[in-house]
Chains A and B, each alone.
Chain A
């Protein structure tokens, strides 16, 4: 992490400098069932379009199956099912966000992938106590934007299945 920030510093660009200093606050937004969520961009290895997914019998319901990412097997997690949401109408347009966790690759299947943006600390609020317990378990906090709320997901918890 330090090496990245140092190479970027030598890049002399003020924007890069600003970004580097707050690199742990940069997130990728994604949408499931109309709700915008975010995960730290540093965890993201790939974003893929619709994929051929091999179902895995007897696996936990949240596991959509396995997919091939350039010769590596990625376990796909259906984020809708993980968050207790109904299946999507147009599941064939679903996107995969590939994240790495303890050396293993997982893909989070989401409806849409949004943009990469910083979420400054000032806008972060704790989870409302009324939040669904399932969501409370995987949500770190909520970010306030003017026109929408972003649920900041904890990837480690998301992958803590079974």
Chain B
């Protein structure tokens, strides 16, 4: 019997016992939704697995059971005692088949038509004659018999079956997660107590306790190691079955699938491994079934016929990251939207405010599936919610990225909540921190030059250290964590040289204590957003200490810049416009005499290209640049090759792609705050700004990039463009009215957020959310528009924003009262054109407070 089958049998035995128990509970309380969901999931799991093992008889029974359970779960059928009896009959039939399977390694012959027919009838809502259940039971027993022995000796076959069942059950001992967790917690506490004792022993000089203490310490370490060892397993163990599963899946669905597995030797806690095994299987199955297209569709989409599923596991800081990706069709955002509405999971207004990512996350809701057909593989809306529940149960998170046409990648992040690690204890700004030893390469003492120590040098504000043949970038821990500033007279102390991925950098600390075994405990949820820490722990002296996350430190210090280059570019476009701080701007001339500006951060290189090298391709100027053809876009509109000379070009790069913007002359680089005056309707320009005391046009980089043809920022374009839409906040207690106004304003090019009360709006204000203008109703319960206006004008970040009143009462005295309260304009409800022109007017002129 192969491993797959024996595991299936063990699991199914357990599953069936759980179903029995749950069904009994359900019989007592037929409306218990969680129990119903549990039964459904168990049966679904059995069905799903046996589909892959080619156990068709078993699958049919399970499928029939699942169908009726699905109807119960959705509430379209009422749970009746008769129905439960039927499900019991199905469970018995499954059990009998499983027993036969255990004995012969294959399904016993037989026919479960009676049970299935009864289940199907019940599913159609017909009342079912009860006798059919016992009858089916009897049949199943009889059928099991020939498999066990040639003669139909029913009672013996049953006894035998029971014996075999218990034999399999004893092959593995399953220890409940709780017991393992407790054991690990106890060992952790023991380690801490040992550390405390050692600390005490170091201070006192009582030699009598030192020997037994050494012994205790030794045993503790061994015990710890032992407990850890029993729990660590390479993740490959959980993957071992996947190639087979994928192969079968490919055959069944007529697809070509290539499964690539990376990082199979990444070790993780046994308990964690157990818990993620099923979710992983589920997700790989989903990728194959929903994610990847058939060969024909792939060809049509210009992709290789063979689809790819990539599994990747690696350690990152205190976490294990597992990625499950495919290069298939991606998640259908619009379909999900439609489905979300159809299932009433949210309202249209709420949905309109959600970004794509939030919409995609609906696939983690129970009962949600976008598969058009219910196949035997998946598509019953059990799956992603189970996956998410299982991962969250072990304190993990699941994220997804999806691009339509390109594929979907799920990233599971599981914290090593129980791990005991060795850490270096350091001090910075008067506080102690733990740095996991695993990332520490070496320690360098710095400071006192005359003692022959290495000295920290500064390049502008960036501290660096000459370390042998390299220049090591440094991060001061106290300034990174905004602790007390380093003493005047330069940085001194120690540099902890760290390696994170390919990046080597140094963390400057004031003091280094010794290393200590620490138990990583997760921080409280309200602190999880601080990426600098991977957890906290209690030291030998009983004090609480934060554990640094080397990844977070590297990211916080700007040392790693990989992976999110696109986002950063988008952010810098907006940051350059919105922030009041100085931005490096490249000034150039193109077309007319007005200087043009672009944030320097967006420009990859400046080139001066001989015009002979500029060639024409399909009517577009191009240049051979670094082994590729780079499209050239003339900012002046059209371009004619001059006879000779050189052409100034700003090169923009994203990934492998480059684009050259042809300009007349590069003028200067200046560092100035960029305050753009909106109001320019010219395509390709964000507006004007006063830079270096001259009126300067600020170009819209996104526009020019998209002009280079092709798909710059495909998928991202929308979001970066929407950043530049004026953001409006609409406050109106009427749902109907919000529905009326939001689409109208969105269509007119605004980014609209709608809330139903001034209180909610003020919460947004206090949370620091920014808008360009506010639109408020006047008559509202609790706080009316007038007091809202007074409140906005009195204090907070919105004091100077345009505030437009919308009211059905627009008599002159109402308007006067509105203005008195602080409204900028007063528009009758609902005069769309008046509202739009009022907004345009408000937004184009600077607001006088």
Residues of B within 8 A of A159 (CB): 526
Contact B762 A133 (CB under 8 A): yes
| Cα–Cα distance between A122 and B140 once the two chains are bound (Å) | 65
| Distance A56 CA – B39 CA, assembled complex (angstroms) | 45
Contact with B along A39-62 (1 / 0, CB 8 A): 000000000000011111111100
Contact with B along A63-88 (1 / 0, CB 8 A): 10111100101010000000000000
Task: Name the distance in Å between A130's Cβ and chain B's nearest Cβ.
Answer: 12
Question: A106 to B543, Cβ gap below 8 A?
Answer: no
Q: Which of B483, B524, B537 is within 8 Å of A75, CB to CB?
A: B524
Say how far A136's CB is from chain B's closest CB, in angstroms: 9
How far apart sit A71 and B536, CA to CA, in the bound complex (Å)?
A: 12
A-contact 0/1 string along B519-557, CB 8 Å cutoff: 001011111011011001110001111100000000000
CB distance from A38 to the nearest CB of B (A): 22
B732-774 at interface with A (beta carbon < 8 Å): 762, 766
CB pair A71–B189 under 8 Å, yes or no, is yes
* Residues of B with C-beta under 8 A to A75: 523-524, 526-527
Q: Is A161 close to B, CB under 8 A?
A: yes
Nearest chain A CB to B786's CB is how many angstroms away? 16
Q: Which of A52, A57, A60, A161 contacts B431 (CB 8 A)?
A: A57
Q: How far is the CA of A135 from the CA of B532 in the complex (A)?
A: 31
Question: Does A60 lie within 8 Å of B526, measured CB to CB?
Answer: yes
| Most-contacted residue by chain B among A71, A75, A104 (CB, 10 A) | A71
A105–chain B nearest beta-carbon distance, Å: 8
The answer to whether B544 and A67 have CB atoms under 8 Å apart is yes
**Chain A contacts with B in 106-120, Cβ cutoff 8 A:** 106
User: Are B536 and A66 neighbours in the complex by a CB distance under 8 Å?
Assistant: yes
Which one of A54, A102, A133, A162 lies within 8 Å of B543 (CB-CB)?
Answer: A54
**From DSSP, what is the main secondary structure of chain A's interface residues?**
loop
Indicate if the CB atoms of A59 and B527 lie closer than 8 Å: yes
B694 within 8 A of A: no
> Assuming A71-B192, A75-B527, is B544 touching A57 (CB within 8 A)?
no
Whether A57 and B481, one on each chain, are in contact in the complex, defined by CB atoms closer than 8 angstroms, is: yes
The reply to whether A68 and B483 form a contact with Cβ atoms under 8 Å apart is: no
Contacts of A71 in B (CB 8 A): 189, 192, 538
B564 at the A interface (CB under 8 A) = no
Contact B544 A73 (CB under 8 A): yes
Nearest chain A CB to B578 CB, angstrom units: 23
A58 with B543: CB separation less than 8 A:
no
B536 lies within 8 A of A73 (CB): yes
Q: CB within 8 Å of A: which of B419-446?
A: 429, 431-432
Docked Cα-Cα span, A53 to B525, in Å, equals 18
| Distance in Å: Cβ of B509 to nearest Cβ of chain A | 13
Tell me which residues across on chain B come within 8 A of A59, comparing CB atoms.
Answer: 527, 530
| Contact assessment for B525 and A58 in the assembled complex, using a CB-CB cutoff below 8 Å | no
Complex CA gap A65/B523 in Å reads 11
Q: Which residue of B189, B521, B546 has the most chain A CB atoms within 10 A of its CB atom?
A: B546
Is B215 an interface position by the 8 A CB rule? no
- Which of chain A's residues have a CB closer than 8 A to the CB of B538? 68, 71, 73
Task: Report Cα–Cα, A54/B537, bound state, in Å.
Answer: 11
Closest to A58 in B: B530
B527 and A57 contact, CB distance less than 8 A: no
B460 at the A/B interface (Cβ < 8 Å)?
A: no
Q: Which residue of B lies closest to A137 (CB)?
A: B763
- Given the known interface contacts A66-B536, A71-B189, the answer about A54 and B546 at a Cβ–Cβ threshold of 8 Å is yes
Residue of A whose beta carbon sits closest to that of B430: A55
A58–B536 CB distance below 8 A: no
Partner of A56, one of B192, B543, B546: B546
Taking the closest CB of chain B, its distance from the CB of A92, in whole angstroms, is 17
Q: How many residues of A contact B (CB 8 A)?
A: 24
Among A53, A60, A66, A104, the most chain B Cβ lie within 10 Å of the Cβ of A66
Contacts of B525 in A (CB 8 A): 102, 104
Determine whether the beta carbon of B544 is less than 8 Å from that of A54: yes
Closest chain A CB from B824 CB (angstroms) = 24
Return B424 CB to nearest CB of chain A, in Å.
Answer: 17
Task: Tell me which of B189, B521, B524, B542 contacts A106 (CB under 8 A).
Answer: B524
> Would B524 and A57 count as touching, CB distance under 8 A?
no
A34 to B420, CA, bound (A): 45
Are B532 and A57 in contact, CB atoms less than 8 angstroms apart? yes
| CB-based nearest B residue for A159 | B526
In the complex, B482 has a CB within 8 A of chain A: yes
Q: A16 CB to closest chain B CB, in angstroms?
A: 31
Collect the chain A residues with CB atoms within 8 Å of residue B523's CB: 75
The answer to whether A66 and B526 have CB atoms under 8 Å apart is no
Residues of chain A lying within 8 A (CB to CB) of residue B766? 133
For chain A, residues 79 to 103, give those with C-beta under 8 angstroms from any C-beta of chain B: 102
Report the separation of the CA atoms of residues A73 and B543 in the bound assembly, to the nearest whole angstrom: 10
Cβ of A57: which chain B residues have Cβ within 8 Å of it?
429, 431, 481-483, 532, 546
List A contacts of B536 (CB < 8 A): 66, 73
How far in angstroms is the closest Cβ of chain A from B508?
15
Chain B residue with Cβ nearest A161: B526
A66 touches B544 (CB 8 A): yes
* Residue in B closest to A129 when the chains form the complex, CB atoms: B782
**Smallest CB–CB gap between A28 and chain B, Å?**
21
Name the residue in B482, B544, B766 with the highest tally of chain A Cβ atoms < 10 Å from its Cβ: B544
- Known contacts being A57-B481, A68-B538, A71-B189, is A63 close to B526, with CB within 8 Å? yes
Contacting pair A162 B529 (CB below 8 A):
yes
Q: How far is the CA of A56 from the CA of B481 in the complex (A)?
A: 9
Q: Which residues on B sit within 8 Å (CB–CB) of A55?
A: 431
Closest CB in chain A relative to B791 CB, distance in Å? 10
Q: Which residues of the partner chain A approach B432 to less than 8 Å between Cβ atoms?
A: 54
Inter-subunit contact A68/B543 (CB<8 Å): yes
Residues of B within 8 A of A65 (CB): 544
Q: Are A73 and B526 in contact (CB under 8 A)?
A: no
In the assembled complex, the CB of A43 is this many whole angstroms from the nearest CB of chain B, namely 16
Given contacts A56-B546, A73-B521, contact A63 B431 (CB under 8 A): no
A71 (CB) vs chain B CBs: closest residue: B189
The residue in chain B whose Cβ has the minimal distance to the Cβ of A106 is B524
Chain A contacts for B532, CB-based, 8 A: 57-58
CB pair B431–A54 under 8 Å, yes or no, is yes
List the B residue with the shortest CB-CB distance to A51.
B544
With A68-B538, A71-B192 as contacts: A58 and B482 at CB distance below 8 Å: yes
Task: Name the distance in Å between B166's Cβ and chain A's nearest Cβ.
Answer: 35
Residues of B within 8 A of A67 (CB): 544
Residues of the A chain whose Cβ atoms lie less than 8 Å from the Cβ of B543: 52, 54, 68
Residue of B whose beta carbon sits closest to that of A77: B526
Which among A58, A60, A102, A159 has the highest number of chain B CB atoms within 10 Å? Answer: A58
Q: How far is the CB of B318 from chain A (nearest CB, A)?
A: 15
B526 contacts which of A58, A68, A162 (Cβ < 8 Å)? A162
Contact B542 A104 (CB under 8 A): no
Query: Bound state CA distance, A60 and B537, in angstroms?
Result: 20
Query: A66, A104, A161: which contacts B546 (Cβ < 8 A)?
Result: A66
Q: Which residues of chain B come closer than 8 Å to A52, judged between CB atoms?
A: 543
A56-B546, A65-B544, A68-B542 are known; give 16 further A-B pairs, CB within 8 A. Answer: A54-B544, A54-B546, A55-B431, A56-B527, A57-B483, A57-B546, A58-B482, A63-B527, A68-B538, A71-B538, A73-B521, A73-B536, A75-B527, A106-B524, A161-B526, A162-B526
Q: Sort A-B residue pairs by CB-CB distance and give the 6 closest, nearest first.
A: A57-B481, A66-B544, A75-B524, A54-B544, A58-B530, A161-B526
**24 CB < 8 A contacts A-B:** A54-B543, A55-B431, A56-B530, A57-B482, A57-B483, A57-B532, A58-B482, A58-B530, A58-B532, A59-B527, A59-B530, A63-B527, A66-B536, A66-B544, A68-B543, A71-B538, A73-B536, A75-B524, A104-B524, A104-B525, A133-B766, A159-B526, A162-B526, A162-B529
Interface residues of B (CB under 8 A from A): 189, 192, 429, 431-432, 481-483, 521, 523-527, 529-530, 532-533, 536-538, 542-546, 762, 766
